[in-house]
Amino acid sequence: MNRLVLISILAGIIITISSSALLLNVPSSESESRLIYDAGFTYYDIEIIQDRLNEQNIFVSSPTAVTDHTINQYCTYFEKGLPRTVEYCTTTAVLDYEGTALGNINIGGDIDLPILAIANIETSSLESNQEEVFTIFETVIESLVCECWEEEKSEDYPTIRAWLVGVQTFYTDSDKRNIKSKIDNLKDHEILLEITTKDNSVLQTLVILK
């Protein structure tokens, strides 16, 4: 991971300090598309996330399917600067042990298999519910991509949490401008973390793409 993380940090955090923009390279053929959909996580993996987070006193609701016009609120990505939506999307609510809503975890693709997962966590400040935020993002990455981050031996970010802290620190040091950091090709997945300043809150969005 050392090479991948360093490249992504330079391109993602330092250079890309702007509004959120998620890029997805669309396969050129149906067969290539099928390979992407067939690889990696499935819709059933939300059950793994639920179980693991429940052990940390974080509740994730049962997934609700979204197929109507509101789907773009849950599973949207950007291609060549234009918003794109998927055919099928599921969403869950995420709450802390006190029942306070933290955000949601959405998984989308076609009706059979997903191509992206999005974890949106909104808190009053970057410091609010920080332990829960770290736990949610770590769990989503380990459940949907792999438990292999530390095996890649990144000198700068030896753990997922170290990367999350690094992105948050850059956000704070950048006068809280919207930022994005990208990790390329971790087990054939692309991982992005975006931090966006809202009127009275901070939105942290983790995106995983096959």
pLDDT score, position 9: 42
Q: What is the dihedral of CA 121, 122, 124, 127, to 10 degrees?
A: 30
pLDDT score, position 36: 54
- Show me where the domains of the chain are located: 2-209
d(CA 137, CA 121): 9
Instruction: Quote the pTM value.
Output: 0.83
Q: What secondary structure does DSSP assign to 136-166, as a single string?
A: HHHHHHHHHT-S-TGGG--SS-SSHHHHHHH
Q: Quick one: average pLDDT of 122-150?
A: 96
pLDDT score, position 84: 77
Asked if 176 and 168 touch (Cβ cutoff 8 Å), the reply is: no
13-27, 124-138, 169-183: segment of lowest average pLDDT: 13-27
Asked if 143 and 131 touch (Cβ cutoff 8 Å), the reply is: no
* Residue 196 scores a pLDDT above 80: yes
Task: Dump pLDDT digits (tens) for 161-183.
Answer: 999 999 999 999 999 999 999 99
Task: Dump pLDDT digits (tens) for 29-77.
Answer: 454 445 555 668 999 999 999 999 999 999 999 999 998 889 999 998 7
Q: Bridge partners of 194?
A: 180, 205
Which residues of the chain form beta strands (DSSP E)? 59-60, 64-66, 76-79, 82-85, 88-95, 101-109, 114-123, 179-186, 189-197, 202-209
pLDDT score, position 79: 64
For the four alpha carbons of 89, 133, 187 and 40, in that order, the dihedral sign comes to negative
d(CA 76, CA 36): 17
Mean pLDDT of the chain: 84
